[in-house]
């Protein structure tokens, strides 16, 4: 297969390197940053004349491959996905499809109209961990699902990196937190529960990462701060010890101590976490009711130590507890009383080296199988992904307006014609 890559950043390179490593060609790249463009050219063996400084330049060419990998920032996807499909490309499209509900629905509609295959990068559907949970639920391990408690534990240093200092700190330039971080979680809920969502309520906000919580004497940047040896958010503590690895790799291509110190001195990741221009939530609690009657609570929080999802799925006959960090899925069947031993077992799904617990490799494999006609549909086809995006947008509306939002009404108000 032949791919063109639009956006050779963190995500775009992961998918492209995987496909390239499996013998598929990356025939062209569009990347704004000259250093990243050159890295992509070299690592992916792309002819120099097919390296473009902007997606629009690549999309102005005749069709250069079978499919486009679109991995630019959230608000760029719409303006690139529509012309790419019109040009004839199938799409591996990063999530969120778009933070704007009308654009989400328009991309889905364009895929249908042009008969393009569009797989949205809900990589968790492909991780052995979540696949095992799905398999257990479908085989009736806990009986019919009644209610779910789901936590997305963002991790304290991770929220400071990505959602306070980083690319996704503002809902107007990127996406609201529930869309950016948790279209994945809402997609998992739809998939695991096996139903679309009926209605949603949501509460939360920005509790901590704001000026009023800055310690006395804190400077605007870590480089100038007298507290930098004691503050746990010091950029020197966050990035220097992990040089060469995420998240230090996000700061600069120059992964030397000198390069990182310079990025901390001058770049966005050296700003005080209490003095950034962030406006996305640092905690958000959402309540959902699904069309099949299942209820769920979803807690999205930056105030956790680990970066891992934890779930409790409660069914008529038992409960399933899952902890992504310990890679444990515990299934307990209810006993008749409080004395008898419950039937219980613990599963440790296969661990893989690929990112997102194997999901990054899994989604590319699925997309390849689809393109090569080895399978009829993808687990993360855009038709399925639209539901989680409507839920995320509706949850944000519910949070901002203090209302309960019905998903069908929300879809209609934003131009959706399908139920």
Binding site for ligand NAD (CB under 6 A): 6-12, 30-33, 36, 54-55, 71-74, 76, 94-95, 121, 123, 167, 180, 356
Q: Residue 177's closest CA among 108, 248, 96?
A: 96
Minimal distance in Å, beta carbon 251 to ligand NAD?
Answer: 11
Minimal distance in Å, beta carbon 349 to ligand NAD?
Answer: 18
CA–CA dist 185, 288 (Å, integer):
12
Residue number, 231 or 378, with CB nearest to ligand NAD: 378
Minimal distance in Å, beta carbon 82 to ligand NAD?
Answer: 14
Helices (H), 115-268: 128-138, 156-158, 177-180, 183-193, 235-239, 248-251, 257-266
Minimal distance in Å, beta carbon 54 to ligand NAD?
Answer: 5
Residue number, 90 or 356, with CB nearest to ligand NAD: 356
Minimal distance in Å, beta carbon 46 to ligand NAD?
Answer: 14
Helices (H), 32-145: 34-44, 55-59, 77-87, 101-114, 128-138
Residue with smallest beta-carbon separation from ligand NAD: 9
Cβ-proximal residues to 407 (8 Å cutoff; 6+ apart), any chain: 196, 197, 198, 199, 200, 387, 390, 391, 394
CA–CA dist 95, 223 (Å, integer):
34
Residue number, 302 or 315, with CB nearest to ligand NAD: 302
CA–CA dist 345, 330 (Å, integer):
6
Residue number, 158 or 283, with CB nearest to ligand NAD: 158
User: Six-digit token pair at 225?
Assistant: 């701060």
Residue number, 250 or 272, with CB nearest to ligand NAD: 250
Minimal distance in Å, beta carbon 31 to ligand NAD?
Answer: 5
CA–CA dist 400, 123 (Å, integer):
29
Residue number, 142 or 260, with CB nearest to ligand NAD: 260
Q: Residue 417's closest CA among 196, 109, 169, 173?
A: 109
What's the burial of 138, exposed, middle or buried (CB within 10 Å: 0-12/13-18/19+)? Answer: exposed
Minimal distance in Å, beta carbon 144 to ligand NAD?
Answer: 30
- Give 270's Cβ-side CA count (13 Å radius): 18
Do 100 and 173 contact (CB within 8 A), yes or no?
no
Residue number, 185 or 289, with CB nearest to ligand NAD: 185
Minimal distance in Å, beta carbon 182 to ligand NAD?
Answer: 11
Residue number, 24 or 181, with CB nearest to ligand NAD: 181
């Amino acid at each position: 297969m032949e791919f063109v890559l639009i956006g050779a950043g963190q995500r775009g390179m992961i998918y492209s390197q995987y496909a390239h490593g499996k013998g598929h060609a990356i025939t062209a790249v569009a990347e704004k940053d000259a250093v990243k463009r050159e890295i992509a050219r070299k690592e992916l063996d792309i002819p120099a004349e097919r390296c473009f400084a902007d997606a629009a330049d690549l999309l102005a060419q005749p069709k250069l491959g079978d499919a486009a990998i679109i991995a630019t920032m959230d608000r760029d996807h719409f303006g690139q996905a529509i012309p790419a499909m019109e040009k004839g490309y199938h799409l591996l499209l990063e999530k969120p499809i778009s933070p704007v509900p009308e654009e989400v629905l328009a991309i889905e509609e364009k895929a249908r109209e042009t008969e393009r295959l569009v797989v949205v990068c809900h990589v968790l559907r492909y991780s052995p961990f979540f696949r095992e949970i799905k398999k257990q639920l479908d085989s009736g391990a806990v009986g019919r699902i009644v209610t779910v408690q789901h936590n997305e534990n963002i991790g304290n240093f991770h929220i400071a990196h990505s959602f306070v200092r980083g690319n996704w700190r503002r809902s107007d330039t990127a996406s609201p937190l529930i869309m950016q971080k948790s279209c994945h979680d809402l997609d998992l809920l739809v998939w695991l529960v096996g139903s679309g969502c009926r209605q949603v309520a949501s509460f939360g906000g920005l509790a901590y990462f704001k000026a009023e919580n800055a310690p006395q004497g804190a400077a605007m940047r870590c480089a100038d701060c007298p507290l930098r040896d004691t503050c746990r958010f010091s950029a020197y503590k966050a990035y220097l010890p992990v040089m060469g690895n995420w998240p230090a790799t996000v700061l600069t291509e120059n992964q030397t101590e000198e390069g990182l110190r310079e990025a901390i001195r001058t770049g966005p990741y050296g700003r005080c976490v209490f003095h950034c221009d962030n406006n996305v939530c640092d905690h958000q609690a959402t309540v959902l009711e699904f069309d099949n009657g299942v209820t769920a609570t979803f807690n999205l929080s930056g105030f956790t130590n680990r970066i891992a999802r934890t779930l409790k799925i409660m069914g008529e006959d038992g409960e399933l507890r899952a902890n992504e960090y310990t890679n444990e899925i515990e299934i307990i069947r209810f006993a008749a009383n409080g004395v008898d031993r419950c039937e219980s077992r613990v599963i440790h799904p296969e661990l893989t080296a690929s990112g997102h617990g194997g999901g990054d490799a899994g989604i590319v494999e699925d997309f390849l199988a689809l393109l090569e006609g080895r399978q009829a549909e993808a687990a993360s086809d855009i038709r399925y992904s639209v539901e989680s995006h409507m839920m995320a947008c509706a949850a944000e509306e519910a949070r901002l307006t203090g209302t309960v939002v019905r998903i069908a009404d929300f879809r209609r108000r934003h131009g959706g014609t399908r139920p």
